[in-house]
Structure 1
């Protein structure tokens, strides 16, 4: 792997494990106690005082004043923006370079961008086409359409509606997801059958974003239609919408390859390779900005050539969400702003970062994509500010926030304090250990507000959240909201406003990194000192001609404990190095490091259990011998450290066998 792949993949996956900065969602069978207010109204305000004219000239002038500076400041390469209105292209613009080395400019009509998860909107459109043909039932067990079985959980099967709202309950999966090598792209059915990710939530109860779930829907499209997914998309979506420069094929067809933009981690850095996705219906689309504009036009025209009006209306209907926040439709999710209802979907590879927005009532759509992540992951903030700036300029509205009295605000802030984990997570595999750096904390600002550090703004500043309704907070300097679900006087989950396909839930005290991470670091430091003290003491004795005060069984207990302390630190260091290498590039996620994983899975229980047993034996020997107070104290410290390591290994699945992740 080159410098691009190692740095980029580690950064993106680490961000996903920790928090992508703007996550939300949630669904409950009934309204929670002390429920937040309903979501933003679908009916837009009539007053448009100060609105700029929505014309090509004005939009172009506004974009010229925003994007070139934003791209330069964020060290990005290029971008494309398309705005459609009332069935026509209002404007489509390219900024910066499709290829930096050759200074090739971005052309909205001819430059292809990788769409990543925006691909899902094509998949969901295909599903809805088959729904309106009566070939797929949204509420039928998906096993009826498959040639393998997805087990039920909680006595309930998965339905297509669950898949379209990311509420099937799958945990996150990464093995074999991406590759730079076409040989690493087996047929879709083979990928899905190799391993079904564990379902960690009952269907329909908890949104947990899932690439596997979307790919499963794409495979159902293949089986019901009788043709490969890429063929189906070309015949029934691209051809009907006029998307001549779009493809799910990996690698791209020869006619499209010269049009593909280069992707970058930084605009000033090297170009990366073409990123391929084995779960192709979830993330393999390549398309021009102009083609994505045509796709938006079709959906904004009551389905246009793609869907019947009643099917489009069903697809756009809010389906689930935490009250007080934006929610999920079927495939799209809400991004309501300034009293206007907006449906959206984003997509991110290592290098390409895209988003589309639809204002259904205004019959307006916006598509945006960048071919570089930029410094400090600036692509996400640029997208967010693009929507905010557009809405404030052309659809302004006065804020209508309420306030909660100071005493209640302080009480609710205290209720929110804690450590949380997101629903999109690794739960049953060894990658759960990434939670040691990935759990998030909510704190009080001491003034009745809360702080939630992962959701930083464009300048990297920490947001301060002010309570505007019971258990609904808004960013004090912006418009993003955060809302909690409270049951029996306790916060059971909360979400952020921008992505209603995930929630945050309290972490059990036993696995909370609030205490576990510092305990682990202290334990490793103490065991390292224990291991180093053995040779250091031996060298000192040799230097001064002294002999060891220990002999026989006491000496053996002393030496074995220190040897296993060294081995335990080495095993943990081995896991760290393995994870670093595993996550350094796509090429390591297809089983290339299985040998190292097997060795670590064999060594971990032997060394950690051995250390605990030997340190307890040594403590018994110390306390039954004539040893000083320091030796007695340290004989207790070492077993406690061993217990911490063993607890981490068990709780985060470093002890266990299996090659899936």
Structure 2
């Protein structure tokens, strides 16, 4: 069997590809990015074990890892030559670069496709600068640990000690520490607004960003994970304030220079000497369409541009306990501490180190960080025990699936899974499944801020129910296409194993004994908290949609009635108050419909940016219009007490009034009333 055939078998045929199920994103770029943010692609995203994949190790017995032989030369290159070009074609991606380091040596560094389609510039592992999104955070966390090593930062001290002119509110008795930021357990809500700016002129300082866009603290620190971009920005600012030099300069001086990363930068736009090597991001619609360079408001969150070869140097340093070419970026003790588990939502599942996310593939522990950005997806994976590092990046937002697929295929080929006993043996249990049914919302969500409008895109949540066959059915909703999976109860009544044995789900009970959250094996960076059905985004969105439909019909009826009245012969006089009531609800309906048009325009175009002036006007008018709902309430009471119109007319008027009240509730849910 050729390597090409092996790679195709690893990936699968066109009809049976080994791909994680993908969500259908709406066409708006802003919506797509929001969905990426919520489900974790701007941070990490979990691995699902590869299923129904052939293991192929040419020239060796079945199950013998090829790394025990000699992984150099054509062996690995033939594999990637077969797989990655096929991915670029299948997923309509312009280009990719990949680099792999083993035992301190580069065993592969290669580019595929194009860095610039218009000029037909091929993707180069040495020269093409690809943006790597949240994979940049690994440099932020490494910088933090350098300062910890020097004694300038205490992992367990209140971060307010490093914030001279603004403070994190003491919402809970426990202070937030740098350890909490590194493990994404600070307890911040999510924030989207202000993450991007339209131009260099709109950029604000890192200090101003972390001081102005402080998210609410919604849970005590150290309780559960909730991936936080703001946490990384705050950590980066503390690096800046503690070291006394700008964050970008610190990274250049203390990481890029000792690691000889001469083609890497956090600066936006990239420096003039590197601009000719900057790759373009693309979307595909019949042909490749270049995307503009977007500015991240806070560089530590993910503004880095780099090459595949430069990333090899970073991986070498981490795999060699902080050493690179006779120089050190970390002491061995600090480097090992960064790679050691620090927190897990459940100790039986994967957890977090100081900046990395744990996982397991084919019995091998790895630590990783993914990064998505508009038009980019990067993945860095380290296997410390195997002294192996893998980096791959695609210039397309939909690069996550091929990136994860690449790693899984690589592991299945070179580290085939052994026949290990299952962690948990499914068995009939006396545990009551009914106690587990309900809705569970991702901890990485917006609770108290205008950004909750992002729930229009669909905050990630699980619906748990009992299937007809008695198994536990889960439906993961995020956007348009729910993902369904069934689990079997194990000897532990709160532990469940997927039917294919590849995923573990564990429920946790609160102090009152009631189930309050659940953990999924491949999502260490967040959990799912139990919520009531009426607290779910899908319910609030449904109420809002129903209310808008009713208001639209009310407006149309009033317009038709008004036009018909022009041509109708003059009839009996109508009570002036009744006439005013009809005019009022018509105008009220029109006002809400127009203002919601402004909200949807913002949601589609500007949600990730600074709040524009027009939105402040729209939100102010929404508040006024919502207060004036008291008018239809009074008219409804008068309509029934004075018997305006016919019975169907009064019922319709009441229904419209209820829709107006529903609008007030929905707008309050989405934090569009009295906005922050």
* TM-score class, shorter: 0.7 to 0.9
1:467 is displaced (CA, Å) by 3.1
Q: 1:574 to 1:220 in 2, by over 3 A?
A: closer
State the match for 2:8 in structure 1: none
1:461 is displaced (CA, Å) by 9.3
State the match for 1:8 in structure 2: 29
- Per-residue Cα deviation, 1:390-420 (whole angstroms, up to 9, x for no partner): 22222222253334335669x54x5444333
Task: Tell me, yes or no, if structure 1 residue 613 matches structure 2 residue 631.
Answer: yes
| Counterpart mapping for 1:474-493 below 5 A | 476=499, 479-487=502-510, 488=512, 490-493=514-517
- Per-residue Cα deviation, 1:470-507 (whole angstroms, up to 9, x for no partner): 44445545845443323355432223333422222223
Q: Is the 8 A contact 1:24 1:504 kept in 2?
A: no
State the match for 1:293 in structure 2: 312
- One of 303, 314, 318 as aligned partner of 1:284: 303
Q: Provide the C-alpha distance between the structure 2 equivalents of 1:509 and 1:277, rounded to a whole number of angstroms.
A: 35
Task: Tell me, yes or no, if structure 1 residue 246 matches structure 2 residue 273.
Answer: no
Q: Is the 8 A contact 1:22 1:498 kept in 2?
A: no
State the match for 1:582 in structure 2: 606
SS at match of 2:365: coil
Q: Is the 8 A contact 2:462 2:528 kept in 1?
A: no
Task: Tell me, yes or no, if structure 1 residue 534 matches structure 2 residue 543.
Answer: no
State the match for 2:49 in structure 1: none
SS at match of 2:271: coil
- One of 236, 257, 280 as aligned partner of 2:275: 257
Paired residues, number: 618
Q: 1:64 to 1:430 in 2, by over 3 A?
A: same
State the match for 1:367 in structure 2: 391
Q: 1:288 to 1:15 in 2, by over 3 A?
A: closer
Q: Provide the C-alpha distance between the structure 2 equivalents of 1:93 and 1:465, rounded to a whole number of angstroms.
A: 40
- One of 62, 70, 92 as aligned partner of 2:87: 70
Q: Provide the C-alpha distance between the structure 1 equivalents of 2:280 and 2:617, rounded to a whole number of angstroms.
A: 38
- Per-residue Cα deviation, 1:400-451 (whole angstroms, up to 9, x for no partner): 3334335669x54x54443333222222222213324414342444331423
| Counterpart mapping for 1:312-327 below 5 A | 312-323=335-346, 324-327=348-351
Q: Provide the C-alpha distance between the structure 2 equivalents of 1:333 and 1:396, rounded to a whole number of angstroms.
A: 22
The higher-RCO structure (CA 8 Å, 6+ apart) is: 1
Q: Is the 8 A contact 1:419 1:514 kept in 2?
A: no
- Per-residue Cα deviation, 1:1-42 (whole angstroms, up to 9, x for no partner): xxxx984333112343467599889xxxxxxxxxxxxxxxxx
Q: Provide the C-alpha distance between the structure 2 equivalents of 1:386 and 1:14, rounded to a whole number of angstroms.
A: 22
Q: 1:491 to 1:23 in 2, by over 3 A?
A: farther
State the match for 1:37 in structure 2: none
Q: Provide the C-alpha distance between the structure 2 equivalents of 1:92 and 1:485, rounded to a whole number of angstroms.
A: 44
Q: Is the 8 A contact 2:486 2:499 kept in 1?
A: yes
- One of 438, 457, 468 as aligned partner of 1:446: 468
1:124 is displaced (CA, Å) by 0.9
Q: Is the 8 A contact 2:509 2:515 kept in 1?
A: yes
Q: Is the 8 A contact 2:357 2:367 kept in 1?
A: yes
1:223 is displaced (CA, Å) by 2.2
- One of 173, 176, 190 as aligned partner of 1:158: 176
1:547 is displaced (CA, Å) by 2.6
State the match for 1:38 in structure 2: none
State the match for 2:116 in structure 1: 99
Q: 1:97 to 1:514 in 2, by over 3 A?
A: closer
Q: Is the 8 A contact 1:463 1:476 kept in 2?
A: no
Q: Provide the C-alpha distance between the structure 2 equivalents of 1:72 and 1:426, rounded to a whole number of angstroms.
A: 37
Q: Provide the C-alpha distance between the structure 2 equivalents of 1:24 and 1:119, rounded to a whole number of angstroms.
A: 15
- One of 177, 183, 194 as aligned partner of 2:195: 177
Q: Is the 8 A contact 2:581 2:632 kept in 1?
A: yes
Q: Is the 8 A contact 1:114 1:352 kept in 2?
A: yes
- One of 142, 145, 152 as aligned partner of 1:128: 145
- Per-residue Cα deviation, 1:218-251 (whole angstroms, up to 9, x for no partner): 1221222222222221222122222221111222
Q: Is the 8 A contact 1:416 1:442 kept in 2?
A: no
Q: Is the 8 A contact 2:146 2:330 kept in 1?
A: yes
| TM-score (ref. length: structure 1) | 0.87
Q: Provide the C-alpha distance between the structure 2 equivalents of 1:652 and 1:341, rounded to a whole number of angstroms.
A: 40
| Counterpart mapping for 1:188-267 below 5 A | 188-266=206-284
1:613 is displaced (CA, Å) by 3.2
RMSD: 2.8
1:165 is displaced (CA, Å) by 0.8
Q: Provide the C-alpha distance between the structure 1 equivalents of 2:572 and 2:357, rounded to a whole number of angstroms.
A: 70
State the match for 1:51 in structure 2: 64
- Per-residue Cα deviation, 1:167-221 (whole angstroms, up to 9, x for no partner): 1122222333223522222322222223322222222223222222112111221
- Greater mean alpha carbon deviation, residues 265-274 or residues 116-125: 265-274
- Per-residue Cα deviation, 1:57-92 (whole angstroms, up to 9, x for no partner): 332222222211111110001111111111111111
Q: Provide the C-alpha distance between the structure 2 equivalents of 1:64 and 1:321, rounded to a whole number of angstroms.
A: 37
Q: Provide the C-alpha distance between the structure 1 equivalents of 2:621 and 2:556, rounded to a whole number of angstroms.
A: 21
| TM-score (ref. length: structure 2) | 0.85
Q: Is the 8 A contact 2:345 2:527 kept in 1?
A: no
Q: 1:613 to 1:24 in 2, by over 3 A?
A: farther
Q: 1:509 to 1:607 in 2, by over 3 A?
A: same
State the match for 1:114 in structure 2: 131
Q: Provide the C-alpha distance between the structure 1 equivalents of 2:329 and 2:602, rounded to a whole number of angstroms.
A: 47
SS at match of 1:271: strand
Q: 1:352 to 1:626 in 2, by over 3 A?
A: closer
Q: Is the 8 A contact 1:111 1:261 kept in 2?
A: yes
State the match for 1:405 in structure 2: 427
Which ranges in structure 2 are unaligned for 5 or more consecutive residues? Answer: 1-25, 47-60
State the match for 2:356 in structure 1: 332
Q: Provide the C-alpha distance between the structure 1 equivalents of 2:208 and 2:139, rounded to a whole number of angstroms.
A: 21
SS at match of 1:251: coil
Task: Tell me, yes or no, if structure 1 residue 137 matches structure 2 residue 134.
Answer: no
Q: Provide the C-alpha distance between the structure 2 equivalents of 1:508 and 1:87, rounded to a whole number of angstroms.
A: 52
Q: Provide the C-alpha distance between the structure 2 equivalents of 1:163 and 1:271, rounded to a whole number of angstroms.
A: 35
- Greater mean alpha carbon deviation, residues 271-280 or residues 174-183: 174-183
Which ranges in structure 1 are unaligned for 5 or more consecutive residues? Answer: 26-47
Q: Is the 8 A contact 2:185 2:224 kept in 1?
A: yes
Q: 1:74 to 1:416 in 2, by over 3 A?
A: farther
